[in-house]
Amino acid sequence: MARSHIESGNIDAIIDASLDTGYDLQSVWKIAEVGIMCVKPKGAQRPTISEVLKEIQDAIAIEVQREAPQVQQLMSKRSMGSVSINTDNSVDLEQNASFDEMLMRPGLR
């Protein structure tokens, strides 16, 4: 049944309704297509486990990108610096370099 929906292009028919719109259709297609390939009658037609793993990882990457682009941006822009709290409760921030810049310094490679 799922196979006929996938092969006819009706992927929505096999998606759990409780997901609502909490997914990227491209990642669902990746998983569905690799699933169809995995149940081919002849072993030579089936993907290797490495190929299956790659497709799953690609689908997860699509979902991560969709879910949290702002988190990815923050992760790439982490800063290295210091915070000082003064006796009058004021705060001084000093940014030395971004995390990425720190990694590029010769002593840290």
pLDDT for residue 78: 52
Place of tokens 């988190």: 71
Indicate the residue type of 25.
L
Looking at the predicted structure, is the pLDDT value of residue 108 above 60?
Answer: no
| Cα distance between residue 98 and residue 55, in whole Å | 33
Place of tokens 């690609």: 58
Tell me: the pLDDT tens digits for 50-89?
999 999 999 998 888 877 655 555 555 555 555 555 666 5
This prediction has a pTM of 0.57
Neighbours of 16 (CB within 10 A): 8
Q: How far apart are the first and last CA of the chain?
A: 53
